Amino acid sequence: MTILSKSNRTTLLYSSTAILTLACSLSSAGAQDATTDSETFELETIVVTAAKREQTLQEVPIAVSVIGSEEILKAEIQDIIDLQSLVPSLEVQQSSSTANAGFVIRGFGGVASNAGIEPSVGVFIDGIYRSRASAQISDLLNIGRVEVLRGPQSTLFGKNASVGVVSIVTQPPEFEFGGTASATYGNFDTVRLRGNVTGPLSDTVAFRLAASYNRRDGYSENLETGGDLNDRNRWGVQGQLLYDSGNDMQIRVIADYDKIDESCCLTANIVSGPVTDFIVGALGDFVDEDPFSYQGFADFDPTNEIENAGISAHISKSFGSAQLTSITAFRTLDSLSFSDADATSADIVTSLNEGDVETFTQELRLASDYDDGPVDWLVGAFLFDEKIEQPGEFLYGSDFRGFVNGISGNSLTLVEAALGLPIGTTFGQQGQGPIEERGQDNTSWSVFANVDWHVTDALTATFGASYIKDKKEAFFSQVNTDAFSALDFVAIGFGQALAGVGVNPSDPAAVAAFAAANPAAFAAIQAGAQNPATNPLLGLQALQFNPPFLDFPNSVEDGKSNDDKFTYTFRLAYDVNDNVNVYGSFATGFKATSFNLSRNSRPSPQNFIPGSPVTNPPSSPIRDAGLAVPNLTTGTRFAGPEETEVLEFGLKVSRDNLYFNLTVFDQTIKGFQSNIFTGVGFALSNAGEQSTQGIEVDTQWAVTEALTLSFFGAFYDAEFDSFEDSPNGDLTGRRPAGIPKVSTTTTVNYDFQIGDLDAYIRADWQHSGSTAYTDNPDFQELIGFKRQFDLVNASAGVAFGNGSNLTIWARNLFDEQYITGAFPAIAQSGSVSGFPNQPATYGITLRHRF
């Protein structure tokens, strides 16, 4: 268990005292006779399943935010990315393609554009774990509600919920015929069509069918091709059958399929480096440091294709005193991403990644019926089996040779001449580069239990525990035809120096004889080969973009992990009265080992010591096994497990027209899996310890029968408590990038009448404070600014008496501009690329219920 620092203990002590004081105050207020109010306006009761059983939002002693179906419709929420405008503690990040997205809760998480890394935030749809962003970012179909659980949830959610959970619950079939249909038209020629219908097939079987179509022109333009970027082109269908025997047994079968075919995303230039002028002058066009022109140059439009499908069976059976639940699911995911990696009109580098994922999950739960007895209990087991294959290519284009020669003084030609190779046809040729096969098999299972002991009518003690076992077998093989990157310039310089003293470097006997006769001179030649002052060839190492890769598994690295962990939760919840609840909890979470399946995946320093063979590097397991390849360096093959601890205190207050929830927490992750994009691959490593202390406020107030105000505020103090060996140096004591100190969402909803028609006006304001783009201090200084924004979304609607309603809406109403993410430009040292946010979108929706 982490021992809190003195300052953190003091903060939590004061916060806990404040919670109890406020609870007593509100308890006294709640005891007053409500009839003294001239009028009472009631908020809708919100039901959640955060603890794997139905409770109201105010009953459940967990930090959870809920977005209901009506709010989703009013706010025109279309996909999971839009949800962050309503829940500031949740951030959804998107990067270089449609599939490259990631979820962040309380500042933990991030984009995992790396096939070996699963997210720290678990996403579940109808209780089924979706392990990859490609399977999570589809349009929201037939949504009943979305729950965002903050803090580790490993006790009840069996897979990678070390920092939180996003749980999406769809609407089940009903035994009364009905449905909805909607059509939307908006700017950028947006066309959205949606429909769902439900009803009975017999006395015991009901169905629901839902479908959606979403098309939009891109809000960015590729000036080279004239094509749209950041467009929408997706559709999906879902079918459900529900069998209800009427004898305490239900079977629900869900099948879904969706497809995405889009051109995403515009990679804009933010900072121009030394090579920009050469690219523009010699090779092609470039939009220089103007990301919000929403224009760029690429020699072809990117391709993002995703096919996502699955089928699941949900069985619920009551045995009188207990309820058995079984959820079985099989899912497939196919994806393809093809892009111009250099983001210029020059044909320099292309990147291709494919993906094939098959996932099987099985959950079993047996729970008490939660009657009036002193103990409620739940036991269960979860099985996860997944296979991933991800071929990839990173190939040079027709302008690559000219680009490298142009920025390096004709180096490729000079080296070809020096080595006696065919000039102009050896290095930097079109189609050269790495072609890869990578993937992993992952099997995980867990058993869990949860007990609620009602010590008194007001006090409940909760004990939860889970044992998790996770095994992975990863692989990565590469064929690299980039001959230039395979050159050992230390060895070449060494050979040139030997030739200069009359020794043939290709004759081992001659070299050995010279070394024996002239040990001092030989040592000087070895040292000179490693010194840029005497070996100018070393300056060309920066142009070796894709050095040879050491495949794994191999005789030293088995590519396997075998983790297990016991996690637990302890919580005390006290009902001060019918309106006020307080709780305190301590919980742990776990995320298993992740493999680095990127081009930066390299042996650890324990397994390999870099160096050219001619300089006699020290012994290491990989070299001793004869596995060393030219220019091999060290890095990481994998990052070890994440372990989370959170101490949390909460207050929940509810009146007929008000609820107020306050959470104070101290959350720490040991071994946080940091995944940093380096321009070609990812540097994956474990942070020693990262912590966040914070306060979250979630409240809603029906001021009058017509006016409702909502506010959610997240106030975070984050720090790397220990991260000495990060890829960016010692980050200990620094604030992690991407975690603003303040994030808030304020919502106003006003209902009124237009004649006999019901109408509303709604607006939400999302504020995100300043935060760095990267944990690299030098790179952040190069960018020169931080990310912060204020977004306003608004809608207004009117309901007609025949079940139809009309809504006008706008997202990012005032066209706020900011960069969502920034990274080093590929093959352009000193340049920075990034992604501009989505500009203002607006439209009109006609919806009919029947």
Reading the block at residue 54, the tokens are 């139905």
Percent of the chain with pLDDT over 70: 93
User: How far apart are the C-alpha atoms of 155 and 379, rounded to whole Å?
Assistant: 11
Instruction: Report the amino acid identity of residue 779.
Output: F
For residues 661 and 699, the answer to whether their CB atoms sit within 8 Å is yes
Q: Mean pLDDT of all residues in the chain?
A: 88
Q: Shortest CA distance to 648 belongs to which of 466, 465, 462, 468? A: 462
> Residue 698 belongs to what H/E stretch?
strand 689-702
Residue 9 has pLDDT above 60, yes or no: no
Q: What is the pLDDT of residue 282?
A: 78
Residue 333 has pLDDT above 90, yes or no: yes
Residue 19 has pLDDT above 60, yes or no: no
Q: Are strands 121-125 and 108-111 parallel, antiparallel or unpaired?
A: unpaired
Q: Shortest CA distance to 327 belongs to which of 140, 159, 99? A: 159
Strand pairing partners for 386? 359, 442
Work out the average pLDDT over 108-114. Answer: 69
Residue 431 has pLDDT above 60, yes or no: yes
Summarize pLDDT for 257-305 with one digit per residue, the tens.
Answer: 999 999 988 999 999 988 887 887 778 788 889 999 999 999 999 999 9
Residue 178 has pLDDT above 60, yes or no: yes
User: How far apart are the C-alpha atoms of 398 and 433, rounded to whole Å?
Assistant: 13
For residues 825 and 273, the answer to whether their CB atoms sit within 8 Å is yes
Sheet of 121-125: strand order equals: 64-68, 143-150, 164-170, 121-125, 128-130
Reading the block at residue 440, the tokens are 């992993």
For residues 98 and 113, the answer to whether their CB atoms sit within 8 Å is no
Lowest mean pLDDT among 51-55, 493-497, 554-558, 751-755: 51-55
User: How far apart are the C-alpha atoms of 461 and 451, rounded to whole Å?
Assistant: 8
Q: What is the pLDDT of residue 162?
A: 79
Q: In the structure, what pLDDT confidence band is assigned to residue 11 with cuts at 50, 70 and 90?
A: very low
Q: What is the pLDDT of residue 123?
A: 87
Q: What is the pLDDT of residue 33?
A: 44
Work out the average pLDDT over 495-514. Answer: 92
> Residue 131 belongs to what H/E stretch?
none
Residue 22 has pLDDT above 60, yes or no: no
Q: What is the pLDDT of residue 838?
A: 94
User: How far apart are the C-alpha atoms of 310 and 331, rounded to whole Å?
Assistant: 4
Q: What is the pLDDT of residue 347?
A: 92
Q: In the structure, what pLDDT confidence band is assigned to residue 3 with cuts at 50, 70 and 90?
A: very low
Summarize pLDDT for 671-728 with one digit per residue, the tens.
Answer: 988 877 776 777 888 888 999 999 999 999 999 999 999 999 999 999 999 998 888 8
Q: Are strands 164-170 and 121-125 parallel, antiparallel or unpaired?
A: parallel
Neighbours of 306 (CB within 10 A): 25
Lowest mean pLDDT among 136-145, 526-535, 550-559: 136-145
Q: What is the pLDDT of residue 656?
A: 86
Residue 65 C-alpha from the chain's centroid: 19
Residue 529 gets which letter from DSSP? H
Summarize pLDDT for 42-54 with one digit per residue, the tens.
Answer: 666 677 676 777 7
Q: Where are the beta strands (DSSP E) in 555-688?
A: 560-575, 580-591, 594-595, 638-639, 642-655, 658-670, 673-677, 682-686
Summarize pLDDT for 443-485 with one digit per residue, the tens.
Answer: 999 999 999 999 999 999 999 999 999 999 999 999 999 999 9
Instruction: Give the C-alpha distances (Å, rounded to integers) separating 47 from 59, 64, 145, 824.
Output: 9, 11, 9, 45
Q: What is the pLDDT of residue 111?
A: 61
Q: In the structure, what pLDDT confidence band is assigned to residue 495 with cuts at 50, 70 and 90?
A: very high
User: How far apart are the C-alpha atoms of 655 and 579, rounded to whole Å?
Assistant: 6
Work out the average pLDDT over 360-378. Answer: 87
Q: What is the pLDDT of residue 36?
A: 42
Residue 383 has pLDDT above 80, yes or no: yes
> Torsion-angle region of residue 490: left (phi > 0), alpha (psi -120 to 50) or beta?
alpha
Strand pairing partners for 684? 675
Residues in the chain: 850
Work out the average pLDDT over 797-820. Answer: 94
Reading the block at residue 667, the tokens are 């959350």
User: How far apart are the C-alpha atoms of 848 and 850, rounded to whole Å?
Assistant: 7
209 class by beta-carbon count within 10 Å (0-12 exposed, 13-18 middle, 19+ buried): middle
User: How far apart are the C-alpha atoms of 478 and 468, rounded to whole Å?
Assistant: 33
Residue 14 has pLDDT above 70, yes or no: no
Summarize pLDDT for 198-225 with one digit per residue, the tens.
Answer: 999 999 999 999 999 999 999 999 999 9
Return the SS3 of 453: strand
Strand pairing partners for 591? 642
- Residues whose CB falls within 8 Å of the CB of residue 535, separated by 6 or more in sequence, listed in order: 489, 490, 493, 497, 528, 529
Q: In the structure, what pLDDT confidence band is assigned to residue 491 with cuts at 50, 70 and 90?
A: very high
Radius of gyration of the chain from Cα atoms?
30
Reading the block at residue 744, the tokens are 């808030």
For residues 28 and 579, the answer to whether their CB atoms sit within 8 Å is no
Work out the average pLDDT over 360-371. Answer: 88
Work out the average pLDDT over 487-514. Answer: 92
Return the SS3 of 615: helix
